[in-house]
A = this chain, B = another copy of it.
Amino acid sequence: MKVSKAQQRQETIAKLLEIAREHFSTQGYAHAATEDMVKEAGLTRGALYHHFGNKEGLFRAVLESVQKEIAEQVETEAAKSQDPWEQLLNGCRAFVTSAVEHRNRRILLIDGPSVLGWEAWRKMDEEHSMQLLQAQLQSMAEQGYLAAVPIEALTHLLSGAMNEAALWIAQMPDQAHSLEQMTRAMTLMLEGYRVK
C-alpha cells in the first residue's frame, strides 16, 4: 500500500502532537523524555527533530493547539448571548472551564511561560484567547458599558485572575462547587468596572 508523503507527514505530526500533549501534561516539560514519546508513536527521535526542530519546538506546537481549542470554546460560549456583560462572563467561565482540563492546564498555565519565556508565551496568548478578551473589553468600553480604565492593563489583570482561578479549581476536591464560588468572585470583580 502506497501512502503519499503529504499524508504521512500530516499523520506523523498529528500523532506526535497528541502523544506529546499527554506526556507534557502528566510529566511536565522537563521530565517528559523525547525518546519515550516517539517510542509510543512507533517512531524514533529523528522524526521529531525533522518535523519540530527540537523539544521546545514540539512543545510550542502542542501549546498552539491547546490555545486554539480553548479560544474556540470561549468564542462559542460568548456568542450565546447578545448582552455584552453576559458575553464577557460567559467567555470568562468558558475559559476557566477549559483551562482546568488536565490536557490543557499544565501546558498552558504552568510550563508555557517557563519553557517559552513569558514574553513569547504572552505573544501567543495574545494571538488567541487573550485577543478575544481584549476585543470584548475594547468594544464594551466604546459602547459605554465600562468605567474609565486602561484596557490593556485590565486585560492582563483579568487574564491573570482567570489563570490562577483555573489552577485553584483544578486541585480542589469539589470542582463544581469551587467553580461556583469562583464565578461569584469573578462576577463581583467585573462589577467593579461597570459604569455607574
Residue A154 at the chain B interface, CB threshold 8 Å = yes
Write the A135-164 contact mask toward B (1 if CB under 8 angstroms, else 0): 000000000000101101110111111111
Interface of A is mostly: helix
A185 and B153 within 8 A (CB): yes
* Cα-based distance from A159 to B157 in the complex (angstroms): 10
Q: Which of A57-65, A71-79, A109-117 contacts B (4 or more CB under 8 A)?
A: A109-117
A181 and B153 within 8 A (CB): yes
Counting contact residues on chain A (CB < 8 A from B), the size range is 35 or more
- How many chain copies? 2
Residues of B within 8 A of A30 (CB): 30, 114-115
Residue A167 at the chain B interface, CB threshold 8 Å = yes
Q: Which of A1-9, A11-19, A32-40, A187-195 contacts B (4 or more CB under 8 A)?
A: A187-195
Task: Decide: A190 near B192, CB < 8 A? Known: A110-B114, A157-B165, A160-B164.
Answer: yes
Residue A28 at the chain B interface, CB threshold 8 Å = yes
* Cα-based distance from A162 to B86 in the complex (angstroms): 25
* Cα-based distance from A178 to B156 in the complex (angstroms): 12
Chain B nearest Cβ from A153, distance in angstroms: 4
Task: Decide: A184 near B150, CB < 8 A? Known: A157-B165, A162-B160, A171-B119.
Answer: yes
Chain B nearest Cβ from A182, distance in angstroms: 5
A184 and B153 within 8 A (CB): yes
B114 and A171 within 8 A (CB): no
Residues of B within 8 A of A66 (CB): none
Q: Which of A114, A167, A181, A182 has the most B CB atoms < 10 Å from its CB?
A: A114
Residues of chain A at the chain B interface (Cβ within 8 Å) = 28-30, 110-111, 113-115, 117-119, 122, 147, 149-150, 152-154, 156-165, 167-168, 171, 178, 181-182, 184-186, 188-193
